[in-house]
Structure 1
Protein backbone atom coordinates (compact mmCIF):
# COMPACT_ATOMS: atom_id res chain seq x y z
CA UNK A 1 0.00 0.00 0.00
CA UNK A 2 1.35 3.42 -0.94
CA UNK A 3 1.91 5.93 1.84
CA UNK A 4 -0.87 8.27 0.68
CA UNK A 5 -3.36 5.38 0.63
CA UNK A 6 -2.22 4.42 4.12
CA UNK A 7 -2.65 8.02 5.31
CA UNK A 8 -6.18 8.06 3.86
CA UNK A 9 -6.96 4.74 5.55
CA UNK A 10 -5.85 6.22 8.89
CA UNK A 11 -7.84 9.41 8.25
CA UNK A 12 -10.99 7.37 7.63
CA UNK A 13 -10.33 5.42 10.84
CA UNK A 14 -10.14 8.75 12.70
CA UNK A 15 -13.36 9.90 11.09
CA UNK A 16 -15.10 6.59 11.91
CA UNK A 17 -14.43 7.24 15.61
CA UNK A 18 -15.56 10.86 15.30
CA UNK A 19 -12.09 12.36 15.51
CA UNK A 20 -12.25 16.13 15.10
CA UNK A 21 -10.23 18.61 13.05
CA UNK A 22 -8.47 15.92 11.00
CA UNK A 23 -5.45 17.29 9.13
CA UNK A 24 -3.06 15.48 6.79
CA UNK A 25 0.34 17.04 6.14
CA UNK A 26 2.62 16.05 3.25
CA UNK A 27 6.02 15.69 4.92
CA UNK A 28 7.93 14.27 1.93
CA UNK A 29 9.91 17.43 1.18
CA UNK A 30 10.09 18.61 4.79
CA UNK A 31 11.17 15.68 6.97
CA UNK A 32 12.87 12.32 6.75
CA UNK A 33 10.68 10.99 9.56
CA UNK A 34 7.59 10.18 7.46
CA UNK A 35 5.84 10.88 4.17
CA UNK A 36 2.65 12.03 5.92
CA UNK A 37 1.58 13.23 9.34
CA UNK A 38 -2.04 12.73 10.26
CA UNK A 39 -3.26 14.90 13.12
CA UNK A 40 -6.63 14.81 14.85
CA UNK A 41 -8.17 15.30 18.25
CA UNK A 42 -10.67 13.69 20.54
CA UNK A 43 -12.76 15.35 23.21
CA UNK A 44 -11.79 12.98 26.05
CA UNK A 45 -9.28 10.25 26.88
CA UNK A 46 -11.62 7.40 25.99
CA UNK A 47 -12.26 8.81 22.51
CA UNK A 48 -8.53 9.44 21.93
CA UNK A 49 -7.85 5.79 22.79
CA UNK A 50 -10.73 4.60 20.56
CA UNK A 51 -9.29 6.53 17.60
CA UNK A 52 -5.83 5.02 18.17
CA UNK A 53 -7.33 1.52 18.46
CA UNK A 54 -9.26 1.98 15.20
CA UNK A 55 -6.16 3.15 13.32
CA UNK A 56 -4.24 0.14 14.65
CA UNK A 57 -7.09 -2.22 13.77
CA UNK A 58 -7.49 -0.87 10.22
CA UNK A 59 -3.74 -1.04 9.63
CA UNK A 60 -3.54 -4.65 10.84
CA UNK A 61 -6.56 -5.64 8.72
CA UNK A 62 -4.60 -4.36 5.71
CA UNK A 63 -1.43 -6.20 6.82
CA UNK A 64 0.35 -2.98 7.81
CA UNK A 65 2.59 -3.35 10.83
CA UNK A 66 2.23 -0.76 13.58
CA UNK A 67 5.86 0.06 14.36
CA UNK A 68 5.16 1.95 17.56
CA UNK A 69 2.23 3.13 19.65
CA UNK A 70 3.08 5.61 22.39
CA UNK A 71 1.07 7.54 24.96
CA UNK A 72 -1.91 5.19 24.98
CA UNK A 73 -2.31 4.93 28.76
CA UNK A 74 -2.34 8.69 29.39
CA UNK A 75 -4.35 9.38 26.19
CA UNK A 76 -3.26 13.02 26.01
CA UNK A 77 -1.19 12.56 22.84
CA UNK A 78 -1.07 9.15 21.23
CA UNK A 79 1.43 8.56 18.46
CA UNK A 80 0.75 5.69 16.06
CA UNK A 81 3.77 5.00 13.84
CA UNK A 82 2.84 3.21 10.64
CA UNK A 83 6.23 3.78 9.03
CA UNK A 84 5.64 6.22 6.18
CA UNK A 85 2.64 7.65 8.04
CA UNK A 86 2.75 8.93 11.60
CA UNK A 87 -0.60 9.59 13.28
CA UNK A 88 -0.87 12.08 16.12
CA UNK A 89 -4.09 11.77 18.11
CA UNK A 90 -4.40 14.57 20.63
CA UNK A 91 -6.71 15.23 23.51
CA UNK A 92 -8.49 18.47 22.62
CA UNK A 93 -6.75 20.30 25.49
CA UNK A 94 -3.25 19.32 24.29
CA UNK A 95 -3.47 20.00 20.57
CA UNK A 96 -3.15 23.78 20.72
CA UNK A 97 -0.27 23.53 23.16
CA UNK A 98 1.90 21.39 20.85
CA UNK A 99 0.58 22.97 17.63
CA UNK A 100 2.28 20.58 15.19
CA UNK A 101 0.66 22.32 12.24
CA UNK A 102 2.61 25.46 13.09
CA UNK A 103 5.80 23.61 14.03
CA UNK A 104 5.80 21.87 10.64
CA UNK A 105 4.33 24.88 8.84
CA UNK A 106 6.47 24.27 5.73
CA UNK A 107 4.56 21.06 5.04
CA UNK A 108 1.64 21.42 2.65
CA UNK A 109 -1.78 20.30 3.82
CA UNK A 110 -3.46 17.50 1.89
CA UNK A 111 -7.16 17.83 1.18
CA UNK A 112 -9.17 14.99 2.67
CA UNK A 113 -12.33 13.52 1.19
CA UNK A 114 -13.62 11.43 4.07
CA UNK A 115 -17.24 11.25 2.96
CA UNK A 116 -16.45 9.48 -0.31
CA UNK A 117 -15.73 5.83 -0.88
CA UNK A 118 -12.37 5.11 -2.50
Structure 2
Protein backbone atom coordinates (compact mmCIF):
# COMPACT_ATOMS: atom_id res chain seq x y z
CA UNK A 1 0.00 0.00 0.00
CA UNK A 2 1.20 3.54 -0.65
CA UNK A 3 0.06 6.92 0.55
CA UNK A 4 -3.04 8.23 -1.19
CA UNK A 5 -2.84 11.10 -3.66
CA UNK A 6 -4.75 13.27 -1.19
CA UNK A 7 -2.24 12.46 1.56
CA UNK A 8 0.63 13.34 -0.79
CA UNK A 9 -1.07 16.65 -1.58
CA UNK A 10 -1.35 17.40 2.14
CA UNK A 11 2.30 16.43 2.63
CA UNK A 12 3.33 18.89 -0.08
CA UNK A 13 1.31 21.71 1.51
CA UNK A 14 2.62 21.02 5.02
CA UNK A 15 6.23 20.67 3.90
CA UNK A 16 6.14 23.87 1.86
CA UNK A 17 4.53 25.77 4.74
CA UNK A 18 7.25 24.55 7.12
CA UNK A 19 9.94 25.46 4.60
CA UNK A 20 8.43 28.92 4.13
CA UNK A 21 8.88 29.55 7.86
CA UNK A 22 12.54 28.48 7.68
CA UNK A 23 12.12 24.98 9.10
CA UNK A 24 15.25 22.87 8.91
CA UNK A 25 15.56 19.31 7.64
CA UNK A 26 12.04 19.03 6.21
CA UNK A 27 11.42 15.39 5.31
CA UNK A 28 8.41 13.20 4.62
CA UNK A 29 8.00 9.44 4.92
CA UNK A 30 5.37 7.16 3.46
CA UNK A 31 4.47 5.08 6.53
CA UNK A 32 1.34 3.52 5.04
CA UNK A 33 2.86 0.02 4.91
CA UNK A 34 3.89 0.20 8.56
CA UNK A 35 0.92 1.98 10.15
CA UNK A 36 -2.78 1.55 9.56
CA UNK A 37 -3.66 4.87 11.19
CA UNK A 38 -1.91 7.29 8.82
CA UNK A 39 -0.26 7.43 5.40
CA UNK A 40 2.62 9.84 5.91
CA UNK A 41 4.78 11.66 8.40
CA UNK A 42 6.20 15.12 7.79
CA UNK A 43 9.21 16.04 9.94
CA UNK A 44 10.57 19.55 10.42
CA UNK A 45 12.72 21.22 13.03
CA UNK A 46 13.78 24.61 14.35
CA UNK A 47 16.41 25.85 16.76
CA UNK A 48 14.09 27.50 19.30
CA UNK A 49 10.57 27.22 20.70
CA UNK A 50 9.37 30.41 19.07
CA UNK A 51 10.38 29.18 15.63
CA UNK A 52 8.66 25.83 16.32
CA UNK A 53 5.46 27.76 17.10
CA UNK A 54 5.72 29.88 13.96
CA UNK A 55 6.20 26.78 11.80
CA UNK A 56 3.24 25.05 13.44
CA UNK A 57 1.02 28.09 12.91
CA UNK A 58 1.96 28.31 9.23
CA UNK A 59 1.41 24.59 8.64
CA UNK A 60 -2.01 24.78 10.30
CA UNK A 61 -2.97 27.87 8.29
CA UNK A 62 -1.95 26.39 4.94
CA UNK A 63 -3.58 23.02 5.63
CA UNK A 64 -6.78 24.80 6.73
CA UNK A 65 -6.74 26.74 3.45
CA UNK A 66 -6.50 23.37 1.69
CA UNK A 67 -9.61 22.17 3.50
CA UNK A 68 -7.85 19.89 5.97
CA UNK A 69 -9.02 19.79 9.57
CA UNK A 70 -6.82 18.58 12.41
CA UNK A 71 -7.94 15.65 14.49
CA UNK A 72 -5.62 16.58 17.34
CA UNK A 73 -2.71 18.77 18.30
CA UNK A 74 -0.21 17.92 21.02
CA UNK A 75 2.76 19.67 22.58
CA UNK A 76 2.05 23.23 21.47
CA UNK A 77 2.26 24.64 24.99
CA UNK A 78 5.83 23.43 25.52
CA UNK A 79 6.98 24.26 21.98
CA UNK A 80 9.61 21.53 21.90
CA UNK A 81 7.78 18.88 19.87
CA UNK A 82 4.41 19.63 18.34
CA UNK A 83 2.40 16.87 16.71
CA UNK A 84 -0.38 17.77 14.28
CA UNK A 85 -2.62 14.84 13.37
CA UNK A 86 -4.68 15.25 10.19
CA UNK A 87 -5.65 11.59 9.87
CA UNK A 88 -3.97 10.92 6.54
CA UNK A 89 -0.80 12.71 7.60
CA UNK A 90 0.92 13.52 10.86
CA UNK A 91 3.21 16.53 11.07
CA UNK A 92 6.01 16.55 13.66
CA UNK A 93 7.66 19.92 14.31
CA UNK A 94 10.52 19.49 16.75
CA UNK A 95 13.12 21.60 18.45
CA UNK A 96 16.44 20.48 16.97
CA UNK A 97 17.51 18.94 20.31
CA UNK A 98 14.40 16.72 20.40
CA UNK A 99 14.88 15.87 16.74
CA UNK A 100 18.42 14.73 17.40
CA UNK A 101 17.52 12.81 20.57
CA UNK A 102 14.43 10.99 19.28
CA UNK A 103 15.82 10.46 15.75
CA UNK A 104 12.51 9.77 14.02
CA UNK A 105 14.38 9.56 10.70
CA UNK A 106 16.25 6.54 11.99
CA UNK A 107 13.11 5.00 13.46
CA UNK A 108 11.26 5.27 10.13
CA UNK A 109 14.29 4.73 7.85
CA UNK A 110 12.81 1.54 6.42
CA UNK A 111 9.89 3.58 5.03
CA UNK A 112 10.24 5.29 1.65
CA UNK A 113 10.99 8.99 1.59
CA UNK A 114 8.41 11.10 -0.17
CA UNK A 115 10.15 13.41 -2.62
CA UNK A 116 9.55 17.07 -1.81
CA UNK A 117 9.88 20.02 -4.15
CA UNK A 118 10.36 23.00 -1.87
CA UNK A 119 10.60 26.44 -3.41
TM-score, length-scaled by structure 2 = 0.92
Q: Does 1:106 align with 2:110?
A: yes
2:15 aligned to 11, 17, 24, which one?
A: 11
Partner of 1:68 in structure 2? 72
Partner of 1:58 in structure 2? 62
The 5 A counterparts of 1:13-32 are: 13-32=17-36
The CA deviation at 1:105 is 2.0
Number of residues of Structure 1 aligned to a counterpart in Structure 2: 115
1:77 aligned to 70, 77, 81, which one?
A: 81
Runs of 4+ in 1 over 3 A off after TM superposition: none
TM-score, length-scaled by structure 1 = 0.93
Distance 1:60 1:5 in 2: 13
- Structure 1: which 5+ residue stretches go unaligned? none
